Chain A
C-alpha cells in the first residue's frame, strides 16, 4: 500500500511534470512490422465531480470509446472525437491522461474497432426502441385525454400564415409538372385514409432475451407510424399551400457580419447556391414518389432549405435555417455577463469557425447536404452567441451536431376512432415500456465494482476475439475483467502497461500543469512562479468555480508537502463549514455544504492521496492544434444551463 501511495504521489511531482510536458514517451518494445497499428488505452486521473475514482477510455484512430453513466441509469458506451474528449477531460476537467499504446496488427485493429462500433449500434438501436415505447405511451395518454395533436419535427419551421411563398409556388409547379395536377391533393387524401387505417396495435418489443451483442428486431410503434404519415402529409400540404417559413426560424448571418467579413454572397457562392437550389428542387420532386417509408421529414426539410437558399440568392445575403433543437438548453443572460471576456472569445471563435466552414464549403465543386448542414450549424451557433452578446439576451446551447427540426403540431383528428376505448391498450403499452426498460437496465447496468468503465472496456476488448488465446496473441496478454483489482482505473492501466504489448506510454498533463510548466520555461524566476501558482488565491491559471468546492493549495503537483497542504486545506474548508453554520438561516446550508465537501476532498490529501485538481468552464490553448478548432459554447456553460 505504501509503495502504491508513493507511486501515486511520485507520478505527480513538479520536476517530473516538467519533464512530462515534453510528452515523455518510453519505447518499450520498439516498432514491429507485424504490429503496425496501435490502440491506445487511456487512464484519466481523478478529480472531484464525476468519476472521482478516475476514468478509462480506448482510442482507435480519431475516435475515443468509453463508458458513462447516464441520468436515466443506463451505463452506455459513448463515442467522442479525440479532440473533443481531450478538451473535456484533459483541459476543462483538468485531469492528466496516461496513454498506453498497445501494438496490434491491422486485422486485429479492425476487429476491435468493428466490435466497438457494433456494440454502439446495437445499444443505440435498443435506446431507439425504448424511446418509441415511451412515445407510444405518451401518445395514448394524450389520446385518452382527447388531445388529438402530436408534435412532429420540422413542421415548426413553417409559418401558419396563409400568404404564399413564391419559392414554394415554384416547387409546387415542378411537382405538378412531374406528377400531374392532382398529385398533391390525392396524396393528402390518401395519407388521411391511410392514417385512418393504421391499427392502434400496441407495441410488442419481442419476447426474446435482450442482449448487447445482438441487434434488436424491428418494433412496430404506433407513434412512429402516425408520425411518418403526418410528416408526409405535412410536407405535401406545405407544398400545396406554398407555405412560407417562420421568420424566427431563419438566421440572417449577413446581418451580423463584422467589418471585413463578407456581408454579401460572392459570385462563386451565388453560383453554387443556385446549383444547390436546383438539386433541392429535384429532391422535392423525387421524394414524394420514393419507396422509402419515411420521406416526409426529408421532404419537409428540402422545402424549407429551398426557401432559405432562394431568399439568400434573392437578397444577396447568407440566410440559413435555425438548426437548434426545440429542447436546446438555455443560458441566462446573467450567467453570460459573469465573464464577458469568455463570452467575447466564444463569439469570436464561433465567427471564425463559421467563416472557415463557409470558405471551405464554397471552394468545392458543389454543395451537398453534408456541407450545407455544417453551414447551418456553424452559422446558427455564431448567430446565437452574437445575439446574446449584442442584445444581452439568454442564448441556446446544444451538444453534438445540429439539424433544423423545429417541431410543430399536426392533427390526428381525421382518424375516426373512439379514443376512450384505448385505455386498456395504454395499460399494455405502459407495461411493455416498463418491462423493456427493466430488461435494458440488466443489459446496460452500472455497478461500482463489477460493471464500471474499466471492467466494461476490458470486457469489450476481450469479446472482440473468440478465445483467451486469441486475445493474448492479438494484444500480448490477457486480463479478466475485475481480476487483480483491475476494476480500479489506475490499476487497470498499470496491468495493461505491464502485460500487454506496449509500444510506448505517454502522459498528457492536465491543462493547469501544462500552463504552469510553460511558465517555468518562459519566466526567469521559478520561485516566483511557484509561489504565485501553488495556491488558488494568486493563481493566474485557475479561477475558483462553484462545482470545485473551496480549497487553498493545489496538491496534484507536489509530493512530500501534500499532507501539509492537505492539512491547511482541511482547516480552510473547515472555516467555510463553520461560517456556513452562521449563514444557515440565509442560504439554507449552501455554504456549510460547500465547506463540508471541501473537507471531504481535503482529507485524502493528509494521506498522500490527491483527488481535487480544480476545473475550468472554458480554456483556449492556442498552441494546441488538436483542440484549436473545437466548438466550445456548449461545454462552456455546462454548469449554468437550464432546464
Chain B
C-alpha cells in the first residue's frame, strides 16, 4: 500500500515537474546573499534592522553558552554574525551587549554563570560599562 501511495504521489509531483523553490536571490550563482535576511530597504529599516540584529545576537549568545567557547572564538563568531547585519564595529554598539544579556537569560543561565562565561569575564576586565549593559539585558 505504501509503495502504491508513493508511486501515485510521485506521479502527481512529476506532473507538476518540480517540487521546491530555487533560491531567488542566488539563482545565478552558488553564493547566497550574506545578509541575515533579504532586505526591504526603507526609512523604517533602522528600527527593524536593530531588532533583527538583537534577536540573532541573543540567539547566538544562548547557543555559544552551551559550547563554552573561548573569548577569542566567541568574538570571531560574533563578528561574522554582526557583519551579516552590516555591523562591523559591534564593540561600539550597545545593543550587542544588551542582546547578549537577553540571550543568556532566555537560555536559563543563572547570574553567577553569566559572570563566569569566558566572554563576559573578558568584558568585565576591559569595560565595566559593557558589563552593566549585559546585566541590564539579562534583567530586562
B80: which A residues are within 8 A, CB to CB?
128
A83 within 8 A of B: yes
Name the contact of B59 in the complex, choosing from A121, A128, A371 (C-beta under 8 A): A121
Residues of B within 8 A of A286 (CB): 91-92
Question: Which residues of A in the span 397-420 have a Cβ within 8 Å of any Cβ on B?
Answer: 398-403
Please state if A52 and B48 are interface contacts (CB–CB under 8 Å).
no
Instruction: Known pairs A68-B23, A117-B55, A401-B86; list 9 more (Cβ under 8 Å).
Output: A53-B13, A55-B20, A117-B56, A291-B75, A297-B88, A370-B93, A400-B33, A611-B17, A630-B41
In the complex, whether B21 has a CB less than 8 A from a CB of chain A is yes
25 contacts between A and B (CB under 8 A): A46-B16, A50-B18, A50-B21, A67-B20, A69-B22, A71-B27, A78-B23, A78-B38, A79-B37, A80-B38, A84-B38, A122-B63, A124-B84, A291-B71, A298-B88, A302-B89, A361-B46, A370-B87, A373-B86, A399-B26, A403-B83, A448-B10, A488-B12, A604-B15, A630-B40
- B126 to A: closest C-beta gap in Å: 6
- A634 on the B face (CB < 8 A): yes
Interface footprint category on B = 35 or more
Contact call B25/A329, Cβ cutoff below 8 A = no
Q: How many residues of A contact B (CB 8 A)?
A: 97
Q: Which of A184-192, A374-382, A495-503 contacts B (4 or more CB under 8 A)?
A: A374-382
B 20-63 to A, binary, CB cutoff 8 A, 1 in contact else 0: 11111111111111111111111111101110110110011001
Contact of B40 with A452 in the complex, beta carbons under 8 Å = no
Nearest chain B CB to A379 CB, angstrom units: 11
Nearest 4 CB-CB pairs, A to B?
Answer: A400-B35, A400-B33, A53-B16, A399-B25
B74 closest partner in A (C-beta): A218
CA distance A641 to B26 in the complex (A): 11
* B-chain residues with CB within 8 Å of residue A53 when the two chains form the complex: 13, 16-20
Q: Which B residues from 57 to 114 make CB contacts under 8 A with A?
A: 59-60, 63-64, 66-67, 69, 71-73, 75-77, 79-81, 83-89, 91-93, 106
Give Cα distance in the complex from A369 to B53, angstroms: 13
Choose the segment among A12-20, A340-348, A352-360, A533-541 that binds chain B (4+ C-beta atoms closer than 8 Å).
Answer: A352-360
Q: Is A401 in contact with B60, judged by CB distance below 8 angstroms? A: no
Q: Does A206 contact B (CB under 8 A)?
A: no
Contact surface of B with A, Cβ cutoff 8 Å:
5-6, 9-10, 12-13, 15-46, 48-50, 52-53, 55-56, 59-60, 63-64, 66-67, 69, 71-73, 75-77, 79-81, 83-89, 91-93, 106, 122, 126
Q: A452 is contacted by which of B5, B19, B52 (Cβ under 8 Å)?
A: B19
Does A452 lie within 8 Å of B20, measured CB to CB?
Answer: yes
**Is A126 among interface residues, defined by CB-CB distance under 8 A?**
no
Contact flag A293-B76 (CB < 8 Å), given A68-B20, A69-B20, A400-B33: yes
Q: Do A359 and B43 form a contact, CB below 8 Å, given A66-B21, A71-B27, A329-B28?
A: yes
Q: B41 and A631: CB pair below 8 A?
A: yes
Q: Is A105 an interface residue (CB 8 A)?
A: no
CA distance A118 to B79 in the complex (A): 17
How far apart are the CA atoms of A72 and B29 in the complex, in Å?
Answer: 8
Contact status A327-B31, CB under 8 Å = yes
Which residues of chain B have C-beta atoms less than 8 A from A62's C-beta? 48
Are A399 and B40 also in contact (CB < 8 A) when A51-B20, A118-B63 are? no
CB distance from A327 to the nearest CB of B (A): 7
Residue of A nearest to B87 (CB): A369
By a CB distance below 8 angstroms, the chain B residues around A118 are 59, 63
* Smallest CB gap from B9: residue in A: A485
A171 contacts partner chain B, Cβ-Cβ < 8 Å: no
Given A401-B35, A488-B12, answer yes or no on A357-B45 (Cβ-Cβ < 8 Å): yes
A28 is an interface residue with CB less than 8 A from chain B: no
Q: Which residues of A contact B15 (CB under 8 A)?
A: 604, 609
Q: Do B21 and A121 touch across chains, with their CB atoms under 8 A apart?
A: no
Q: What's the nearest-Cβ distance from chain B to residue A136, in Å?
A: 16
Which listed residue (B24, B53, B92) contacts A638, Cβ 8 A? B24
State the Cβ distance, A326 to closest chain B Cβ, in Å. 12
- Write out the residue numbers on chain A whose beta carbons fall within 8 Å of the beta carbon of B45: 357, 374
A356 near B43 with CB under 8 A, answer: yes
Give the one of B5, B15, B44 with max A CB within 10 A: B15
Tell me the nearest residue of chain B to A301, going by C-beta.
B88
